[in-house]
Each structure stands twice: as structure tokens, then as C-alpha cells.
Amino acid sequence: MELNNQEIHQMGMNHVGKHLEQNGFEFLAVKSDFGQSPQFVCVKNEKELFFVLVRTVSFPEDPQNYNESWMANMKKHAIEKKARLLYAGVGLADSSNMMAKPLKGQESLVNYKGLVEIDLSSKK
């Protein structure tokens, strides 16, 4: 049985959450429901505030592509709160058939290139 959108999102959240922990981020808030943003509100070095946006998709969709109006809203929010904005795109595929959505109880292939800082000074 294929994973639903919330389960796919949760897999990406878990992957990114581990990466954040390993890189010294401390969590202030986590929003794991599909469609809520930012997913992670973190601090690093006890002084810098970060909003981390996680977008998890199934192959063949490109995890690095995101909705521009969604990102524009997140940029405004980050500027208002004096936070840095990070984007984490995660792609998942079934390990035995890359063209299929991940399956429950089966291993998945993960396409994650790390955190990308979003420039808050540009309009795009």
C-alpha cells in the first residue's frame, strides 16, 4: 500500500529533523501536519532564529522546486520575525521501483541535498 501525503511528509520531516539535530540546531517548535509552515522553528548558537521549510515529494517530482507565492509569504514572515529562512527539499521513491510512490513498510530511496538558505533580500 502506498504512503499517503501526510506519511510522505512525515518521512521528510524525520530526515530533515535528524539533519538539523546533527548540525547543532535546537528546536523551539515543530509543526508536522501536512500544509503547515514553517515546519521547524529553531535556534543555533542560542542567538540565531531559523525557520526551516520542508517539502517532501515523490519521484519524479523535483524536491528543489517550490511554489513561489508560498515562498514569498514565508520570506515576509521570516523578515518580520528577524529569522533566517532555510529550505529542505526531500524526494522519496520506492526502493524497488523509482517510478512508484513509497510503500508502507518498505525501504525508500531518499533524495536530499541538504539545507538551502533562502535570500530574504531578493524579490524572487
The three-point CA angle 29-104-91 to 5° equals: 60
What pLDDT does 124 receive? Answer: 47
For 55-90, how does the pLDDT look when each residue is reduced to its tens digit (9 = 90+)?
999 988 899 999 889 899 999 999 999 999 999 999
Backbone angles phi, psi at 12, to 5 degrees: -65, -40
Predicted TM-score (pTM) above 0.85:
yes
Please give the Cα distance from 72 to 123 (Å, whole number).
8
Query: Could you count the other beta carbons within 10 Å of the beta carbon of residue 42?
Result: 24
Could you say which residues of the chain have pLDDT below 50?
Answer: 124
What pLDDT does 36 receive? Answer: 77
Domain boundaries defined on the chain: 5-118
Fold (CATH) for 5-118: Trna Endonuclease; Chain: A, domain 1 (3.40.1350)
What pLDDT does 123 receive? Answer: 55
Please give the Cα distance from 115 to 16 (Å, whole number).
8
- DSSP 8-state secondary structure symbol assigned to residue 110: E
